[in-house]
């Protein structure tokens, strides 16, 4: 007979008690094996949402989720490893230029990425717009590519933290997605199991982010940094603004094109700024802060690493990217200064145009998305193009236009106050 039962664990947390190490180990293992029912786990998740967990509990919970599956090991590589995780935003293509840039600086980047859901884009969806590129790699292929090229962006295998996969789906349908202990352990169980030596977290804050306010975002960042530190992974977090979308594009192929511009030494200033800020943190975590990523970016070596990385996964870095069949211009209703461009409005528009999905199994359009021709602080002229909407399905335009209503303001220069891109830094 088991040392614990689900009801005892649920009642303990419902009544605001701390869960013991053995209770946590048992409930995660039993749930993964199917011995704890979804109804019971959803009840426990709600109790955690309402009553919280302390640092020891969250650390143990994360450890139990890691123990539910395999752990990867990169110790055989000839260079140190660093990884980055973003909590998701709009126009957030940073992984694409960042992974090859850090690789070109001498640090291996094992970037296990995901697909988009709702208004936030998915890195794998973006890269799949490159003809021939594939997301699924075996562990051996991943290790070989890390040694040869220095960077890999691929899908996580089913072997990493299977408890998280099950619990994530459950949280989605039981109103417990917002529980910080569960968000933090979900992200960190996969990142720690992945075996990276150091980790940089990009925790987004603002209208287009999962965390809308700075205090909640800081709590999440501090929780995740503590989890990484407790697991022996050098972890830091940057809190970055996601009230305005990043760069000038949101979608799939359009974001790849913008990332290539950055690697070629151009691209939007904010994308370059955040790529370099995260690169510096990753290099410092891996003990390579003697390298200046800005110099490496300017030298073209990051572009070489990008081409090698795409080719190694079957992609053609020279192939033309897919283009949407239909486009529609949104014109500026008056002249003035663009004082606000709302990330959520743009993200919803890109999603409705076909760049994102409502359910995991939905297909995405490679060419769909939004391109904006002005950023907050820029002058615009009445009747000039403010945004271009791209889709393969013209019927989608009306709903995309509806999501942009009230999504931007045009005023005078005095009514615009720039906000910093990096809001804060959290370390152990």
Catalytic residues: 85, 164, 171, 186, 190
**What DSSP string describes 367-405?**
S-EEEES--TT-EE-TTSEEEEEEES-GGGHHHHHHHHT
Residue 186 tokens read as 């979900």
Sheet holding 234-241, edge to edge: 82-86, 198-205, 234-241, 422-427
DSSP bridge partners of 115: none
- Phi (first) and psi of residue 110, to 5 degrees: -90, 85
- Strands (DSSP E) contained in 138-181 are 151-155
Q: Tell me the CA distances in angstroms from 296 to 198, 259, 319, one per residue in order.
A: 21, 16, 25
Whether the CB-CB separation of 350 and 247 falls below 8 Å is answered with no
Separation of alpha carbons 91 and 242, rounded Å: 9
Residue 74 tokens read as 């990169």
In 10 A of CB 386, how many CB atoms? 21
- Residue 239 C-alpha from the chain's centroid: 13
Contacts of 50 (CB under 8 A, 6+ apart): none
Whether the CB-CB separation of 196 and 74 falls below 8 Å is answered with yes
Residue 208 tokens read as 């287009």
Residue 31 tokens read as 């749930």
In 10 A of CB 360, how many CB atoms? 9
Place of tokens 């021939």: 132
Whether the CB-CB separation of 277 and 237 falls below 8 Å is answered with no
Contacts of 248 (CB under 8 A, 6+ apart): 91, 258, 268, 371, 372, 373, 375
Whether the CB-CB separation of 372 and 346 falls below 8 Å is answered with yes
Separation of alpha carbons 390 and 351, rounded Å: 11
């Amino acid at each position: 007979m088991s040392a614990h039962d689900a009801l005892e664990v649920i009642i303990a947390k419902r009544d605001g008690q701390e869960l013991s190490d053995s209770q946590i180990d048992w409930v995660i293992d039993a749930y993964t094996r199917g011995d704890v029912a979804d109804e019971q786990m959803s009840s426990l998740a709600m109790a955690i949402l309402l009553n919280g967990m302390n640092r020891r509990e969250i650390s143990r919970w994360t450890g139990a989720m890691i123990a539910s599956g395999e752990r990867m090991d990169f110790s055989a590589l000839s260079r140190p490893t660093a990884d980055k995780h973003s909590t998701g935003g709009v126009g957030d293509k940073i992984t694409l230029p960042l992974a090859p840039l850090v690789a070109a600086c001498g640090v291996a980047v094992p970037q296990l990425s995901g697909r988009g859901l709702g208004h936030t884009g998915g890195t794998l969806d973006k890269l799949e717009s490159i003809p021939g590129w594939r997301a699924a790699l075996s562990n051996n292929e991943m290790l070989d590519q890390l040694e040869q090229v220095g960077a890999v962006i691929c899908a996580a295998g089913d072997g990493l933290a299977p408890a998280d996969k099950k619990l994530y789906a459950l949280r989605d349908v039981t109103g417990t997605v917002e529980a910080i202990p569960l968000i933090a352990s979900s992200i960190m169980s996969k990142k720690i199991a992945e075996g990276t030596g150091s980790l940089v977290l990009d925790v987004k804050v603002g209208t287009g982010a999962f965390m809308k306010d700075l205090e909640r975002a800081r709590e999440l960042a501090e929780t995740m940094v503590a989890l990484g530190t407790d697991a022996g992974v050098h972890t830091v977090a940057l809190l970055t603004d996601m009230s305005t979308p990043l760069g000038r594009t949101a979608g799939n192929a359009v974001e790849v094109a913008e990332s290539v511009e950055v690697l070629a030494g151009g691209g939007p200033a904010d994308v370059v700024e955040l790529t370099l800020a995260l690169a510096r943190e990753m290099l410092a975590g891996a003990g390579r802060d003697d390298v200046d990523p800005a110099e490496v970016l300017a030298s073209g070596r990051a572009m070489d690493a990008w081409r090698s990385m795409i080719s190694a996964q079957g992609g053609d870095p020279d192939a033309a990217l897919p283009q949407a069949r239909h486009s529609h211009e949104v014109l500026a209703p008056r002249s003035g200064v663009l004082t606000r461009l709302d990330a959520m409005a743009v993200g919803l528009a890109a999603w409705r145009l076909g760049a994102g999905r409502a359910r995991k199994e939905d297909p995405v359009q490679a060419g769909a998305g939004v391109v904006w021709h002005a950023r907050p602080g820029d002058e615009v002229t009445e009747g000039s193009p403010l945004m271009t909407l791209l889709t393969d399905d013209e019927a989608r335009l009306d709903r995309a236009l509806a999501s942009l209503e009230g999504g931007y303001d045009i005023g005078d220069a005095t009514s615009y106050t720039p906000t910093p891109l990096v809001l804060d830094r959290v370390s152990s």
